[in-house]
Structures are given as structure tokens and as C-alpha cells.
Structure 1
Amino acid sequence: MKASIVTPNYNGEKFLKSFFESLNQDSEFIGEVIIVDNGSTDNSREYIESNNFNFPVVLIENDENLGFSPAVNQGIRKAKYEYIFSLNNDTEVRKGSIKALIDLISSKPEIFSVQAKMLQYKNKELIDDVGDEYNLLAWTKKTGENHHSDEYSGVCEIFSACAGAAMYRKSLLEEIGMFDDNYFAYMEDVDLAIRSKISGYVNLMCPDAVVYHIGSATSGSRYNEFKVRLAARNNVWTVYKNQPIPMKIVNFIFLFLGFLIKYLFFARKGFGKTYLAGIREGLSTRSKIDKVKFRGKNTKNYFKIEYRLIINTLKFLKK
């Protein structure tokens, strides 16, 4: 079995050499690499077109930066293979990782996605991300960040895969919907994971698939106006589209506190107005977001999600 690798790129020429060299080690499991270039102004396109690789490389050229979600969706639609490996350009993949992902995701039909163990590029013994958590406060958190890689040595269920290094089934993406194009970037993978869980699917982490990640290579520093505004807006959308009214009512006080605390946090860092602008944008534009239609057959799945949100909140409060 082989996979289609889908990678968005925006001025990432400096990463492409090591990115492709790492993939060459697993070329027998790669059906194609689809690079979706979001209007790069460096020599990314020239680099791809002038080099030979051990697998077919498909280059999709956009005239402007459409964002992560639309770019990955373009690649998914173009992909020829059932297994889609969404992979950031600022990564290096350890040999054997793609096979490990394929073996795990193909083992059971209820597996929606499989997360690779993402390690920090500059300190390869420390975890960058092994999946994203989400809680009652509507906060996301990297699982395992800055912990030693040995702490996550077995396959485990996660709330959400991080789309920077995660494998999905194309057929299931077509069933429940792909990444939400409206998000542009940030939280699109958590939104997708919630929708998968509503439909009864599971997301796993594969410890034998290792990806070294530089991080924030395209969007810059950890906190900036662009990130803060989009993350706030997308957070509003994620609650709006995925939680039915009874769930919103039950969680209201936690949601209110979550947004309030985040505002105070960003206000101290000088981004308070930016965060509020993102909240206002999310509320004022929510009508353009397609809500997940409530179906009675999924009621038990909503209870499972609520339970997971409670557990993740308690885990956060204990720290």
C-alpha cells in the first residue's frame, strides 16, 4: 500500500531539500507527493521543477496564499490514493514512518486519522506534538509538548491529530467533509477531529512514525496579530458548528470563562484588542459556517465527546 503526501508550501524553499531527502528513504510507500504552492515569491517552484525525485511530484500552483485548509483540500481532491499524509514542509520524516502510519490506519475501519510522533527539530529527544487536546474551556493544547519522547511509546487514542503530520482516509474525508476552507489556518484539524468523533470514528497516535518538526516556519513567532485573531475567530466557529444547543447550554459557563481568561492572557501580551477582534469576527460571520447537522444516532458520540472534554479540563486544572 502507498500514500499520497499533501504538503502546502509558502516561501518554504529553504526546507524543501531536507524535506524531500527524508521522504526518499520511504519512497516505496509513497505513491505521490502533492505540493500545493500558495503563491510563493521565493524559488520554491523552480526547485521542485528542476529536481528529480524517487516518486511522482505533483505541483499545484496558486496565485495567492489561500491558507492551510484550502491548500490541503486542493491536494486531497487531487490525490490518487486512499491514505493521505498531511505533512508540513518544515519537517523531516524518519525512515519507516510512512509504512507505520499505513499499517496502523489500515488495521481497523473505525480509524479516521493517525498522528505521527512529532519531535522538536532542535532537540530530537523532546516531543513537539503527539496530538491535540480540546477541553470545556474551548482551549487546545499540544499533547506531550516538551516531554521526553520515551513517555509516548505505545499506540494511544488522542482527541485530535495535528495536521502537520497526520494520515487520513480519503474516503472518510469525503464522507464527513474535509478541512473547513473558511478557517484559512489554525484549529482546522481540531474541527475535523470533532466532526470525525461525532460520526463515531477514532484518532490514534503512532509512536513508530517519527517526524522532526521545526515549527512556525510559515506564520512566524508563537504569538502575533495574525495568529491571535485567526485562532480566536476559528475557536468561535468550532464551538458554533460542532456543539448542538443543549451542549452549548451545559458548557456555557466554561466557554465564557475560557474566552475571558484567554482575553486577559492576550491583553497582558499586548494582543487584547486583536483577540477581541477575532471573537467579533467569529460571531458576526458564523452564519457562513456550515453547522454539523444533529442526528439522533450520534447522541452517544456527543456524550463521549463531552466526557473527553471534561477529562481534558480536569487534566489541565491538575497541572
Structure 2
Amino acid sequence: MKSDVSIIIPNYNGEKYIGNCLDSLMGQSFEARGTMEIIVVDDCSGDHSVAIIKDYQQVKLIENPVNSGFARSVNQGIRASNGSYCLLLNNDVVVDENFVKKLYNHINANPRVFSVSSKMIRYFEREKLDDAGDFYNILGWAYKRGDGAKRSRYDKPTAIFSTCAGAGIYRRSILDEIGLFDEAFFAYMEDVDLSYRGKIFGYLNHYEPGALCYHIGSATTADGEKYSPFKVNISARNNIYVAYKNMPFMQLLLNSPFLMMGFSIKYLLFRKRGYGKDYRAGIKEGLKTLKKIEKIPVQSKNLGHYVLIEVQLILNLFRFVGNKLRK
């Protein structure tokens, strides 16, 4: 039987969190009017995650023999699902009872909307936001909209640059058209890349403030820490991938001074925090391995979209500064 919504949860050593995540999905108000399936893709966890997941009879479990990374696991879940919409959820997220219904109603109302990001609230500081949709700017920086701000300040639906794949919904028909997550990314920035691709094809990414969830953050890779050598390294590499893959040659040439400035500033900031070597190594790896990244072919029908995106990249730099000043 075809579902309206397929919920896909990648899991790696999430025994502390996965039970609470799955509990919050039981009894969703959406089930009164629509159908949903839950799929957990376990990436060879070394803890008791699998045993916990198996206690939930409604959940379909896919067990991988190795840790293949977020992007591949999510793609695996999407391919195994049958819903008209694919809702992706981190294992360290707890959702409100109306979470699925709010995301479904928003994306189902407009066929041009590719994805919808939820209102992610800090799990341990519930008066503060974790993420209200993501943006990407001309310096090559991706950032969380509203991070650390009062949750009451981001209460209006709006267009965003990118949906956070930690708690967002995607339209399957557009995924079929433009492709799934790029598995070369492994983890981090793969959602920005996918949303960017959707924009190139002329689709929209939105934010829905009524879809509430509570996010612990960095639970899998760094024991709750905001930064780790792995995260800094992979994110730096993937920043190179996003720009190279999605920008046509002339746009990349035009933006290269800004990108180099952005990467240089980031390096100095991470060096101050003790992660300079990790960031620099990630940049070098990104440049060395560009050959394995397949650029998005430039099509004449999308030329206007590239112009609009370039304007947005510039405006998003001012949004970033505004975010920092309003904190």
C-alpha cells in the first residue's frame, strides 16, 4: 500500500536517542487523515540501537554491514520507501504531535515546492531556536537561520535557500527528476547541495514554523559537541564540492575571490578554536578530489534561475550579518 509520507531515519550508535525519537512519531495527528511509514537505516551501530528499534513493530529496519554515511543511508531509505513525500529525521530529534501534518499540509499545497524545513528548537534550551531553515552565501558559507535566537521570532512561513535534512520533507516526484543526495559528500552539506540543485531547476524550498521539533545536535559524531576534527574536515571539503558542483564555470570564476575570502576567514576562525589543520586538510582534500564530483549540466532553460541564485547568494551574506547582529 502506497503511503502519503515516508519517514526515513538514519541511525548510527543512537541508543540514547532513537527510542525517544520513535516514541514521538507514534500517535501523530496526521494518521487521522493520511498514511505514513517509518524506515530506520542503521549504519552498523556498535551499541544497542538495533535491539531498541526492533521493539517497534511498525518500523521497517534496514541494517547495513558498514557505516556508509548519512547521504547513502538516506538514499537507501528513500529507495526502499513508497511515500509521495519523504520526511527525513535525525535520530536525536523529538517531534511535536502535529509535526508530520504541518509539513505535509505545507508541501502538498504547492507543486512548485520541493522541500519544507521545520522549526527546530534546541532540546536543552527550549526558548531558543536551533534551525529555521538554512542559507548559503557568496562566501561559500552555509548557516542555520535563527540559530540561538528566541524561538518566537521565526513564526512566519517563508522561502529559504535550503531545507535542513535533519527534520525536513521532500517531494518524491522532484527527487525522481533531479536526483537524490550526492553520496560523495558522506555527511554534512549534502542537504544544501540538494536544495541548491532544486533551485537550479526552478523549484522552491520553504520553512514551516508550525512543524515543531526538538534537536539535541551532533549526537552521532561528537558526543554533543558543536565542533569536532571530523566535522570540521568533512564540512570544509564539502564546501568546495557545493560551489564547484552547482556553479557554472563563469559564475564560479566571478565568485572565486569571495569564495577564497570566505575560506580564508573560516580557516582563521577554526585555527583560533584549535581546528585549523582539520579545516585546511578538508579544503585540500576537496580540491584534490573534485574529479569525482559530477557538475550539474547547464541548461538554457535554467539560465534565469542561475541569475536569481547569484542575487540570493549576495543577499544571504547580508542576512548572515543580520543574524549575527540580532543575537
Which TM class, normalised by the smaller chain length? over 0.9
What is the match of residue 63 of structure 2? Answer: 61
Give 3-state SS (helix, strand or coil) of 2:212's partner: strand
What is the match of residue 81 of structure 2? Answer: 79
Asked if the contact 2:156–2:208 (Cα under 8 Å) also holds between the matched residues in 1, the reply is yes
Tell me the TM-score normalized by structure 2: 0.94
Aligned-pair distance for 1:125?
2.0
Aligned partners of 2:262 and 2:70: how far apart in 1?
26
Give 3-state SS (helix, strand or coil) of 1:25's partner: coil
Of residues 248, 251, 275, the one that matches 1:247 is: 251
What is the match of residue 6 of structure 2? Answer: 4
What is the match of residue 47 of structure 1? Answer: 52
What is the match of residue 316 of structure 1? Answer: 320
Aligned partners of 2:216 and 2:112: how far apart in 1?
31
Aligned partners of 1:313 and 1:277: how far apart in 2?
25
Aligned-pair distance for 1:294?
0.5
User: Counterparts in 2 of 1:144-223, with a 5 A limit?
Assistant: 144-220=146-222, 221-223=225-227
Query: Which runs of 4 or more aligned residues in structure 1 lie more than 4 Å from their structure 2 counterparts after TM superposition?
Result: none
Aligned-pair distance for 1:30?
4.9
Aligned-pair distance for 1:82?
1.0
Give 3-state SS (helix, strand or coil) of 1:14's partner: coil
Aligned partners of 2:319 and 2:119: how far apart in 1?
21
One-letter identity of the residue aligned with 2:76: Q
Question: Considering only aligned residues, what root-mean-square deviation do their CA atoms show, in Å?
Answer: 1.2
Of residues 265, 269, 279, the one that matches 1:261 is: 265
**1:30 and 1:11, CA in 2 relative to 1: closer, same or farther beyond 3 A?**
farther
Aligned partners of 1:178 and 1:142: how far apart in 2?
22
Q: Does 1:232 align with 2:236?
A: yes
Give 3-state SS (helix, strand or coil) of 1:5's partner: strand
Q: How many residues matched?
A: 316
Aligned-pair distance for 1:180?
0.6
Aligned partners of 1:317 and 1:102: how far apart in 2?
32
Aligned partners of 1:51 and 1:314: how far apart in 2?
46
Aligned partners of 1:189 and 1:228: how far apart in 2?
16
Asked if the contact 2:39–2:60 (Cα under 8 Å) also holds between the matched residues in 1, the reply is yes
Aligned-pair distance for 1:301?
0.4
Give 3-state SS (helix, strand or coil) of 1:13's partner: coil
Give 3-state SS (helix, strand or coil) of 2:17's partner: helix
| Ranges in structure 2 where 5+ consecutive residues have no aligned partner | none
Aligned-pair distance for 1:16?
2.0
Aligned partners of 2:288 and 2:273: how far apart in 1?
25
What is the match of residue 139 of structure 1? Answer: 141
Asked if the contact 1:5–1:30 (Cα under 8 Å) also holds between the matched residues in 2, the reply is no
Aligned partners of 1:30 and 1:5: how far apart in 2?
11
Aligned partners of 1:57 and 1:88: how far apart in 2?
15
Of residues 92, 95, 98, the one that matches 1:96 is: 98
Asked if the contact 2:19–2:53 (Cα under 8 Å) also holds between the matched residues in 1, the reply is no
Aligned-pair distance for 1:133?
1.0
| Ranges in structure 1 where 5+ consecutive residues have no aligned partner | none
Identity of aligned residues (%): 47
